[in-house]
A and B are shown apart, each in its own frame.
Chain A
């Protein structure tokens, strides 16, 4: 039965392979809504195999809830494979594109400097704004955001987490 101490909610990274069919993404998202699971981020794209998509989900919840969530995902017909990679040795990346106010020469210089340190790329420069791209672990993206906030962020977009395993062992749809 339930223990006396409150179960802890943690972030889980889940990799889902699914068939690239109309409505497949809708089914996944609908499942999360229907059962009340919290999606922190979701990222989806094609894979090395035709007609198979790979999704990286970040879910907040107790271990048992997330386990239930993966079981429910498996019940979807388009879902081929679900792996909770949270405790695996993985490389995690996120990309963000940030348009930041840079209407003074000194702020422009500082932003360029920070970008260099974070290995962010300047994508576009306007008279009063700079658009930069950063790719890295979410903590780096967060720290970069924090630094830029003082200049005024005009617009930003983030991809959400994507993850891949380290070493030579590969996850795949099979």
Chain B
């Protein structure tokens, strides 16, 4: 790139706000246009990959993007997919994912992805182009009020109205997205702000945000009280969520559980933060959780909620949730405490930090009687799961998940779409390594799986670590255009489509709660194998149990993107199932 040296003289700013002598300026001052300032900032932030789509007002940026080979730009086929890919990239790397769209439809196409990241606290910076400053508010071509639209689904957003504010705004955006409770931040940049020049003294090293100071360190007395309560507990249970992953508190969670002999329940978003095969793991609770996990919460005397937010899919009817328990709630977001469930001991702080302090006051315990009781409930669940697996003449989805796990191993990163297959993965894929399960849990966004796998694939540097998406024939068709992106940018994602020819989860609800009126749930699709081949992607179709493991192995080893379609039974259901709004103790255990 060319450094445009200038002699800004009077206009030069230094950190002290005083003009520098002209001689000093000659080597430090740089006047750059907004487009190059943005690129400089992204590189300074360590951005290696961004997912974008060009458009009229972004042209000044795309004009200079080629000067910055440090940034790999992935041309997606739809901005929504770019948003999901950036979201998953952020979740897997624990850095900020970056997506970009042009003004108007480009920006509104990002909305679903931004809302998805917001619900799941994923670090994301969305950059949108805006019409030129003089055109704003005139209903100009491709103008939309994207800061207004995304106001309730971003942690914060900015419309940058002056090129000299750009660097500082980008710094703030990245800082905000990844600190405290992570989330999406949007920066809207008018076309002429990309074009106008401003003095660029380098990327700011620090950021001042007066109204923002997340509480990291927990209240000492509260932590002590919590430890005392845990030490006295007879039937304690840990219920943890995604907060363990965002704060990287895997070891601290395991230390607490093992030292005090406490069973661990992981919410959908918490899965993979604690090994599924650990003797203390009870898997997932709630609507499709294990009967034993829901029973354990119900009969616990102390419930230790860590980095989670008591979602309705977790609690079921609040009136009957953990009614005998004293609840300790640890979360970085004070607004989550007491939002849905009253808490005995609230602790606001970073989960890792709080657990490190708390674990020092935790006594070694054995809860043999309590764990035996839970084991009794689990036995029933294990039997039911065994029956689900062991069926001849059909291809049980649960069986496919089990085989995937056997073939791919505990390192594999799995992204999922939304629906039945999502729950089957959550129930049956034994997660071993931390942060290997990426799912749209909060918003439940169909079409998430494939683009998320693209983001995850680019995030996982080790080529030997498999990255798969498990998706349904419905969800896959919501973003299947990204097959072309996988080919053009050589992104080796592996796709498993669970094809039952219906919108399975909706059909399941129709079957159980809506009088079997199967309206608008039968869904056709293309020949997925031929479709993949049309894109130049290797594909297989599997309908026999004996083919499952060999095909997964072959697809996994294939040197490129690959797709496997599994033909599963239409009427298959996710069990157990708590009726919506019902008590977690009233789960249905079989479809009959």
Residues of A within 8 A of B (CB): 1-2, 18-19, 22-23, 26-27, 30-31, 34, 64, 67-68, 71-72, 74-80
Contact = CB atoms under 8 A, between A and B. Distances in A.
A1 B338 contact: no
How many of chain B's residues touch chain A, expressed as a range?
20 to 34
Residue among B156, B211, B333, B342 facing the most chain A CB atoms (10 A cut-off): B211
Contacts of B337: 71
A18 B210 CA distance: 10
B211 A76 contact: yes
A168 B211 CA distance: 26
A74 B335 contact: yes
Given A68-B338, A68-B339, A78 B211 contact: yes
A2 B319 contact: yes
Interface in B204-235: 209-212
A74 B211 CA distance: 8
B338 A67 contact: yes
Contact of A77 (B156, B323, B338): B156
Contacts of A23: 147, 151
A27 B211 CA distance: 14
Q: What 7 A-B pairs come out closest when comparing CB atoms?
A: A71-B335, A77-B156, A80-B211, A34-B152, A79-B211, A71-B334, A77-B211
Nearest to A26: B151
A26 B342 contact: no
B66 to A, nearest CB: 34
A19 B209 CA distance: 10
Contact of B210 (A26, A72, A80): A80
Given A71-B334, A74-B335, A1 B211 contact: no
Contacts, number: 42
Contacts of A75: 333, 335
Contacts of B156: 77
B320 to A, nearest CB: 9
Contact of B211 (A19, A31, A68, A72): A19
A19 B211 CA distance: 8
A19 B210 contact: yes
B176 interface: yes
B148 interface: yes
A30 B211 contact: no
A30 B157 CA distance: 14
A79 B155 CA distance: 13
A9 B152 CA distance: 26
A68 B335 contact: yes
A105 B328 CA distance: 71
12 contacts: A18-B211, A23-B147, A23-B151, A64-B338, A67-B338, A68-B335, A71-B335, A71-B337, A74-B334, A77-B155, A77-B209, A77-B212
Nearest to A1: B323
Contacts of A2: 319
Nearest to A76: B211
Nearest to B153: A34
A71 B336 CA distance: 9
A79 B333 CA distance: 15
A77 B176 contact: yes
A5 to B, nearest CB: 15
B163 to A, nearest CB: 17
Contacts of A80: 210-211
A77 B157 CA distance: 10
B228 to A, nearest CB: 23
B172 to A, nearest CB: 9
A18 B333 CA distance: 20
Interface in B314-356: 318-319, 323, 333-335, 337-339, 342
A72 B209 CA distance: 17
Contacts of B155: 77
A12 B198 CA distance: 47
A172 to B, nearest CB: 13
A55 to B, nearest CB: 13
Contacts of A79: 211
Interface string B131-163: 000000000000000011001100110010000
Contacts of A71: 334-335, 337
Contacts of B209: 77
A80 B212 CA distance: 8
A95 to B, nearest CB: 29
B338 to A, nearest CB: 7
B254 to A, nearest CB: 31
